[in-house]
């Protein structure tokens, strides 16, 4: 039976770590929906609009035919229900991610028992990567090119420098 996975996040902006999780999910599942959740935690500090975030994700996943990009403003468990999703994929970087992610997984299971949360270990080279770290380093003049997907790195960097 065909399996649908959701990769949710704020993706503000997408990093090499996010893309690694999306690519690996695309190998495991028939259909992958990357969903920009605009209610997602750091909402007030967002740098890129939801449309910009979606466009950046589309540009670096265009070679993956089973990946689509969407956004949502509500509850992830409800979104998963509407999409008939089987799995929510979350990337885990370190123990520090675990408690919060575990709590979210249990909550989502209560709200929608049809969906399973699967944790994927971050690639060793991405363990320290986060959108907020990239924003901070870039604003202070550091080169963040290696941490960003190649297709979108210069646009992200230009945009972050503009909004300094």
Nearer to ligand ADP, 9 or 149 (CB): 9
Nearer to ligand ADP, 84 or 132 (CB): 132
Nearer to ligand ADP, 1 or 44 (CB): 44
Residues engaged in binding ligand ADP (CB under 6 A): 9-11, 15, 17-18, 21, 40, 90-91, 93, 97, 122, 126, 129-132
**Residue 155's CB: how many other CB atoms inside 10 A?**
15
Torsion of CA 106, 10, 93, 104, to 10 degrees: -10
User: Which of 10, 18, 46, 90 is an active site residue?
Assistant: 18
> Which structure tokens are listed for 96?
């520090």
CB of 91 to ligand ADP, least distance (A): 2
User: Which of 93, 109, 139, 159 is an active site residue?
Assistant: 93
> Which structure tokens are listed for 81?
């229900």
CB of 150 to ligand ADP, least distance (A): 16
41 catalytic, yes or no? no
CB of 18 to ligand ADP, least distance (A): 5
Q: Are 108 and 89 in contact (CB under 8 A)?
A: no
Q: Cα–Cα distance between 102 and 21 in angstroms, integer? A: 18
β-bridge partners, 120: 91
The verdict on whether omega for the bond into residue 13 sits within 30 degrees of 0, i.e. cis, is: yes
User: Which of 31, 131, 135, 153 is an active site residue?
Assistant: 131
* Active-site residue set: 18, 42, 93, 131
């Amino acid at each position: 039976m065909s399996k649908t996975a959701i990769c949710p996040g704020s993706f503000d902006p997408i990093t090499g770590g996010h893309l690694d999780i999306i690519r690996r999910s695309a190998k495991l599942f028939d259909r992958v929906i990357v969903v920009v959740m605009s209610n997602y935690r750091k909402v007030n500090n967002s740098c890129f609009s939801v449309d910009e975030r979606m466009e950046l994700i589309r540009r670096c996943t265009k070679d993956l035919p089973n990946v689509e990009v969407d956004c949502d403003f509500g509850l992830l468990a409800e979104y998963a229900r509407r999409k008939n999703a089987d799995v929510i994929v979350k990337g885990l970087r370190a123990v520090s991610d675990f408690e919060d992610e575990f709590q979210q997984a249990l909550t989502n299971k209560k709200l929608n028992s049809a969906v399973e949360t699967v944790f994927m270990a971050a690639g060793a080279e991405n363990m320290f990567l986060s959108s907020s770290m990239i924003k901070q380093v870039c604003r202070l003049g550091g080169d963040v090119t290696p941490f960003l997907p190649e297709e979108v790195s210069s646009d992200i960097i230009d945009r972050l420098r503009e909004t300094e």
